[in-house]
Structure 1
């Protein structure tokens, strides 16, 4: 399936009531993980039915509900009815090709973006869609599959470290978004370290494989730009949103996160320019090498022009050529050829053409 634009053939002619999953299945069976906490206590549970989560929705504690697996639309619909989700939110949740954005629904804030990771074996960027609904006491996240990056957050919540247990859902949303953006930086660093090695390989290993590598990296950088640039705008919108769901205490953290996304976008632009410069450098080297080859071939051709002329004269079939009867004609002929070639080489060297 294409990364830049997912096919929407399945939704052609469908209404909002017809929930259609767009993407690929990444878990065998959907499930729900719940973490409910306050400054003093924490409860964890795993629900295999959306109805099992109903008791947590009215809790006074901060509740983080994680839904894993988006392919089972009936499961997602059942869960969405319990939360009274807007039909457009439900459509965006199950569309894994959704463009990163933020929607303010007064009593909730909906965010959708991509989580990224770098595959060192294929040197490619892999992504998963990540949706988030911020409520007063409930934060709901939708995942295509479990993510390793969030394990440290769960561990900190269990141990009560940091300020997360003392804050509301807005701060938990910041922590999750910060982890995703930090992972953007790590992904960019992993890809960037390989991009920075290209210049050396251009001069050391001059072959067509370099062009293939540059083209592959340009494709990955383009995908990163498509994914991360909208997140910068998303965080910018979140900073300006007029909602009671985002407290004044948490707003500086989102502003700092916005600065981090700006930095990520700027680094991507730098790597994009580096790849373009590397490709231009490669083409320049190819052109210079071709020019050197053509210069050598031209010099050889220029040397052999008078030699061919002399040989052509004495290769004619005229019956009378006085030089042919001379005893040392053959040696004189070679001497003239060598002398002409030597004089021409000396002339070329004096002109700086060699």
Structure 2
């Protein structure tokens, strides 16, 4: 889908929404927690949202929908976000990245979900990490973070005992888990195409395979930059990433690396399927040409015999012989049968 770029020609830091879909209505929610308890609230305005902040523990602010640029800008400026960061939040076509600022850490990642009809669907998730607050900006309502919210609510695992950096990690880890689900679905589809590669000879098969190839390339454009971003997070010397998070980031990097390797294997598999299909079509065409060539070869001597006796010479004894006609047919039949026997002996038939 073509993306309108209303930001082109504007100065850097201009707060304009950029995306391939119409922005959805903005809604605000906040979760606060500490080792003792947790709570969840929604808010109609940024002022109401900020009044719920949990200064004693960890606060997770979630913004669904990017339609209300004024509210997004007001919230961002409350936490000292640079105008360029706010611009990146509103530009949903941005590639994944990590940027370290003096007052916060800024992460852009892509959430991927599987649609049975359309294949992979993408949504940009922008994450702002401060000392005790994580802010997430999403394009649409609905996400893959329900498991995180449940763990916070019931105090499962270590999430309520860790800092805000662990919450940011958990959000990224949840997205990467969805990558695996999408890659599994895509792998199943490619396995089906692989079994059909030899038998399918129509153009529709290649069109479908080309469509899947485009989906794989789209996933690659998301997964490889995120791999670089996770690697950057591991190397960052910042107060917002604690030593406790190091093994978790290493595990996350291993997972995203596995996704990247899977994508590369899918690219090679698609090329292999195309080659097998084209080879199968070519072999079928060769079989047809072989049959037509054999038929033509059989008729070459028969055409010669017919041509000789079709000449209008006056003195041709065979023409007046009473057995001339059946003998000619017999000779022609023997020639044809002899050639067929020869072709079979040579395994050409």
Q: Under a length normalisation based on structure 1, what TM-score does the superposition of the two structures give?
A: 0.94
Are positions 1:85 and 2:77 aligned together? no
Trace 1:65-214 onto structure 2 (pairs within 5 A).
Answer: 65-122=61-118, 124-214=119-209
Tell me the equivalent position of 1:234: 229
Q: Secondary structure at the match of 1:246?
A: coil
In the TM superposition, residue 83 of structure 1 has moved relative to its aligned partner by: 2.0
Q: Secondary structure at the match of 1:291?
A: helix
Please list every run of at least 4 consecutive aligned residues from structure 1 whose deviation after the TM superposition is greater than 6 angstroms. Answer: none
| Distance (Å, rounded) in 2 between the aligned partners of 1:114 and 1:188 | 14
In the TM superposition, residue 108 of structure 1 has moved relative to its aligned partner by: 0.6
2:280 pairs with one of 276, 280, 285: 285
In the TM superposition, residue 216 of structure 1 has moved relative to its aligned partner by: 1.4
- Specify every segment of 5 or more residues in structure 1 that has no aligned partner in the other structure, as ranges: none
Trace 1:250-269 onto structure 2 (pairs within 5 A).
Answer: 250-269=245-264
Maintained 8 Å contact 2:34/2:58: yes
Tell me the equivalent position of 2:331: 336
Q: How many residues align?
A: 348
Q: Return 65-74 or 229-238, whichever deviates more.
A: 65-74
In the TM superposition, residue 191 of structure 1 has moved relative to its aligned partner by: 0.4
| Distance (Å, rounded) in 1 between the aligned partners of 2:103 and 2:69 | 24
In the TM superposition, residue 103 of structure 1 has moved relative to its aligned partner by: 0.3
Maintained 8 Å contact 2:216/2:267: yes
2:301 pairs with one of 296, 302, 306: 306
Maintained 8 Å contact 1:221/1:271: yes
Tell me the equivalent position of 1:36: 32
Q: Return 264-273 or 343-352, whichever deviates more.
A: 343-352
Are positions 1:59 and 2:55 aligned together? yes
Q: Secondary structure at the match of 2:197?
A: helix
Maintained 8 Å contact 1:103/1:111: yes
Q: Secondary structure at the match of 1:11?
A: coil
For residues 140-160 of structure 1, what are the alpha-carbon distances to aligned partners after superposition, in whole Å with 9 as ceiling and x for unaligned?
000001234111211221111
> Do the aligned partners of residues 238 and 15 (structure 1) sit closer, same or farther apart at CA in structure 2, a change above 3 Å counting?
same
Q: Secondary structure at the match of 1:194?
A: helix
| Distance (Å, rounded) in 2 between the aligned partners of 1:220 and 1:90 | 29
In the TM superposition, residue 57 of structure 1 has moved relative to its aligned partner by: 4.7
| Distance (Å, rounded) in 1 between the aligned partners of 2:231 and 2:53 | 29
Tell me the equivalent position of 1:50: 46
- Specify every segment of 5 or more residues in structure 2 that has no aligned partner in the other structure, as ranges: none
For residues 288-321 of structure 1, what are the alpha-carbon distances to aligned partners after superposition, in whole Å with 9 as ceiling and x for unaligned?
1111111111111111011111112222333443
Maintained 8 Å contact 1:25/1:70: no
In the TM superposition, residue 56 of structure 1 has moved relative to its aligned partner by: 4.1
Q: Secondary structure at the match of 1:63?
A: strand
In the TM superposition, residue 345 of structure 1 has moved relative to its aligned partner by: 1.4
Are positions 1:346 and 2:341 aligned together? yes
In the TM superposition, residue 225 of structure 1 has moved relative to its aligned partner by: 0.6
| Distance (Å, rounded) in 2 between the aligned partners of 1:125 and 1:115 | 10
| Cα RMSD after superposing both structures | 1.5
Q: Secondary structure at the match of 2:145?
A: helix
Q: Under a length normalisation based on structure 2, what TM-score does the superposition of the two structures give?
A: 0.95
| Distance (Å, rounded) in 2 between the aligned partners of 1:17 and 1:170 | 27
Q: Secondary structure at the match of 2:225?
A: helix
